[in-house]
Amino acid sequence: MNEELIKYLAEHITENRNELFDKVLLDRTKYLTVVLEDIYQPHNASAVLRSCDCFGVQDVHIIENRNKYSVNPDVALGSSKWLNMHRYSSQDNNTREALQQLKAQGYRIVATSPHTNDVELYDFDISKGKTAVVFGTELTGISDIVKEEADEFLRIPMYGFTESFNISVSAALVLQHLAHQIRTANVNWQLTDEDKAEIKLNWLRATVKSAPLIEKEFFKRRISDQ
């Protein structure tokens, strides 16, 4: 049924727009995902979303402990509507639940932090399996729970006096490199046909004016044709 609904909704956008959706879907991935823990500055949060969209990362996992994640539309430039946003906010501390859910989905947890057992970004082996990269708060970095749950630690090499990058810069650097790596490694990084259909349907719903009314008309026609 989804395929028929997608085709019906696609009739309400231009052919060029529909072709662009299909083209972008070919470069989307869930093999690599991003986890944001307790980010509180809207411009940083929004810049990370923009980078995820630009580098084809479809899923963003947002952990809200003390800070509620908010998006600055002037920075995100609409990127949030093209992404799958997974929020974890039901408990006082949601970090462990989020990371354990990702592990259950087959992701290895890779924390970005200077650490005694870390791996430099350019030495990181993306072919070892699906990867969830965790970025921590602007001031204190990743929490102790992330350190406990992490399978690996990733470090961006630096050569100056400053100890760390801004989180949005860190995310952009890491995603640019890993997004290139998955496309050159021998890994199955592309979306399944089922994922593509689900995402395209969401994009159409976010794009087509009066999409709920059009869907209602679609189902009404299906019933009358039966």
Binding residue positions: 112, 156
Q: How far apart are CA 212 and CA 218, in angstroms?
A: 10
**CA-closest candidate to residue 172, choices 14, 28, 44, 81:** 44
State how far the alpha carbon of 64 is from the alpha carbons of 22, 26, 74, 108, 203, in Å. Answer: 33, 31, 22, 21, 25
Going by the annotation, the residues of the binding site for S-adenosyl-L-methionine are 112, 156
